Structure 1
Amino acid sequence: MKNSRFGCFVCLVGLLGGVSCEARKERVKVQGEMNQEGGRDKVYEAVFVLDRFKKMISVTCVSEEVIYPRYYGGTYINDAGKPVILTTDTTKRELIRKLAGCDEVVVLPCAISYRYLKDVDDKIKSCLGDRPGLIEKVGINTFGILTDKNCVDVSLVCCTPEKVELFKSLVVDDPCITFSENVSRVVLQ
């Protein structure tokens, strides 16, 4: 039973991986939005490639949590509109390009896996959810994963060394966290 499931998975990966970048571009020509110049949007193609790649490498657990491999550092679209995939293991570059199925994918090294960044982000959420008033006390505006910077960014209303130390002592202290200042308060509704 396991072998037949694995065989089906290998066949599916082979079929999906076998779709050429050119064939996908033809599909995008039909499905894609027109940009201001009347051409097809490169960002649409990049989103399609990255979404497909993430679905291929992820595993969804019984708890509906999505788990990514440890070498995966995240994805984003660069200023040139090209899909970028980060990896903590540069020996996986060719595998990543093959799974992405497009030669235009840029594979870059990173220091921290997306799985680790997600764990730190989840710790912050949990800590803030368990302790009412902590957001106001520390002056947290927003926080989240910045994939292109390979970090978890915490935006404080007043980003002073004292507020940063307060955050580290009361919430989470991790080297993957960066701090920025945003004086505009975000109100969640």
Structure 2
Amino acid sequence: MTSDDGGAVTWWQCEPRRLARDKADVGEWFPGLQWVNEGAGGWVGRLPRWPFDRPEPAGLRVLVGEEGLEAALVYGHAYPMVAPLIYPRDPRPGIAQRTDHKWHVNGNGSLCLLQDDATWNGRGSVLDLLLKAAGWRVEYALIKAGVIEAMTLHGIVDDAQSDHLIAVAAEAIEDSGDQQAKRELGGAS
């Protein structure tokens, strides 16, 4: 599809209300993200360290540092029928993590946030994906700390079962005095 001036039509020209909704939602929940008006569009910046509806667990600052995941949410031209992709920038998973399902990272480096393609129906919100990405950051650090072997099936957004492990991992990091582990878990991997 092309516009009247011969250029490609973006998804937001076809879905202006969806763009307005996404901008309002992201602006309210994730003020650290900035809209990128290139290609099919997207968001870049830092997610909050703990944007969930329960108290932040003790030790989270030690485990993941002061800030949350630095990421880029990239829309495709088929959005909203096809979910956008989220690429972690800091920490950035390596090739080994892209080839092992326990990390929930796709081969292209984007996060695997949906159980299957049918989970996204085009009516969902990018907020759900961004919350899962924020939770991915915490679980990534828990695996790196050796406290869990693999990320949970549904993530930690609404599931507090792993919250107590954050304090366990933070205590182990502090007790070990392992500066390399602190740097790696804090984001520079």
**Fold in common (TM above 0.5):** no
Structure with larger RCO (C-alpha < 8 A, sep 6+): 2
> What TM-score does the superposition give when structure 2 sets the normalisation length?
0.27
Higher strand fraction: Structure 1 or Structure 2?
A: 1
CA radius of gyration, larger in? 1
> What TM-score does the superposition give when structure 1 sets the normalisation length?
0.27
